[in-house]
Structure 1
Amino acid sequence: MRLTVFGATGRVGHTLVHDAVAQGHEVTAYVRDPQRLGVKHGRLFVKKGSLEDGTAVAEAVRGSEVVVSAIGARDATHAVTVVTQATRAIVAAMKAEGVQRLVTVGAAGLLPHPAGGLTGEHGLPPFLRYAFEDHRNALLVLQESGLDWVVVCPPVMPSGVKTGKYRTAVEALPAGGRQVYPEDVADFTLKVAASNELHRVRVGIVGD
């Protein structure tokens, strides 16, 4: 599989790039600072650029079968639009290049709530407000894009190691789960990207 990864230097994206090339996939990592990637491989192509450069973003997705975005805001203590703006840029590039499948890493707040609306709209802690709003707006971009998208929705992601032990549910957060390691989120996200089973859905994931 040929895939392009945005957010490749983050906690989820870095692991995903490493695992993808190890599994035989051909990966283009689009990053601002290649030195932060720390991964070298014959099947890894690193492209330096910003998401504001539409031409460079289009070049990064050109020829890919799947695009993965693991972009998130590093500081969400104030109003941010990092994920929304990134999603818009990636969607525009994919449409220009005729690439259809996009897998993104979102947040558990994007999952449906039993009372209606999104989980993040019900009793969300104040410190998560801005990050949720950014992810919610990015979800709207995906839903209106016409692309074949999937959003992986983890709750809290503490530092850890890959366990391979996690549970997932379509349009729901598996019962009893409150956290999951980013390495396991990367593992599942890559599996979603490499398969053709899920289409235009949100998937909750928690550690087992």
Structure 2
Amino acid sequence: MRLTVFGATGRVGHTLVHEALGQGHEVTAYVRDPKRLGLKHGRLFVKKGSLEDGSTVAEALRGAEVVVSAIGARDATHAVTVVTQATRAIVTAMKSEGLQRLVTVGAAGLLPHPAGGLTGEHGLPPFLRHAFEDHRGALQVLQESELDWVVVCPPVMPSGVKTGKYRTAVEALPTGGRQVYAEDVADFTLKAALGTEHHRVRVGIVGD
């Protein structure tokens, strides 16, 4: 399969690109700085550009069958709209190229709360507020689109190793879990992108 990956130099995106290549897929990585990617492969195509350049984003999508976005703000200690703007740019380009399947990495705060609304609207620590608002804006962009989207929603996500031991739930965070390795999030995100099980839903994921 041919994938275009945004956020390929981040923890989840970089691992996902490596895994996809190892499984025999073709990957176009859209990056600002190709040097930060640190990968070379015969099936890897690197496209340099910014998300503000709609025509270049569209070029990176040509020939792709599925799109993955693992974009996140590097500094979310103040108000940011990085994820929202990136999602809007990707959705616009996908529509122009006639693509439908988009899998993104969000956050557990985007999952429904039993009391109503989103989990991030209930007792979220102040230092996570800006990141949540950014991801919530991105979710709204997806929900208003006609794309076949999936948002993978992890809680605390430390770097570690790929264990393959994690649990998922549709529109909920599995009980009893408070974190999941970034490498396992990449593993599930790739499976969601390549599979057909989930459509226009949020999927919570925690380590087992």
Aligned residue-pair number: 208
Q: CA deviation at 1:197?
A: 1.1
Structure 1 segment 57-96 matched on structure 2, within 5 A: 57-96=57-96
Q: Paired residue for 1:204?
A: 204
SS at match of 1:113: coil
The SS at the match of 1:88 is helix
Give the distance between the partners of 1:61 and 1:105, measured in 2 at CA.
Answer: 18
1:19 is matched with: 19
Percent identity between the two aligned chains: 89
Q: What SS does the aligned partner of 1:204 have?
A: strand
The two structures, once aligned, show a CA RMSD in angstroms of 0.4
2:133 alignment partner in structure 1: 133
**Structure 1 counterpart of 2:169:** 169
TM-score, structure 2 length as denominator?
0.99
Partner of 1:118: 118
Structure 2 alignment gaps of length 5 or more:
none
Encode CA deviations 1:177-201: one digit per residue, 9 max, x unaligned.
Answer: 0000000000000000010111000
Query: Which consecutive residues of structure 1, in runs of 5 or more, have no partner in the other structure?
Result: none
Q: Deviations for 1:79-136, whole angstroms, at most 9, x for unmatched residues?
A: 0000000000000000000000000000000000000000000000000000000000
What is the alpha-carbon distance in structure 1 between the residues aligned to residue 153 and residue 61 of structure 2? 23
Distance 2:32 2:75 in 1: 17
Q: Which amino acid aligns with 1:130?
A: H
Letter in 2 for 1:13: G
Q: Which residue does the alignment assign to 1:28? A: 28
Quick one: which amino acid aligns to residue 102 of structure 1?
L
1:176 counterpart SS class: coil
Q: Which amino acid in the other structure matches residue 102 of structure 2? A: L
Q: CA deviation at 1:39?
A: 1.0
Q: Give distance in 2, aligned partners of 1:67 and 1:3.
A: 6
TM-score with structure 1 setting the length: 0.99
Aligned to 1:180: 180
- Are 1:109 and 2:116 an aligned pair? no
Residue 63 of structure 1 deviates from its aligned partner by: 1.4
Post-superposition shift, 1:159?
Answer: 1.9
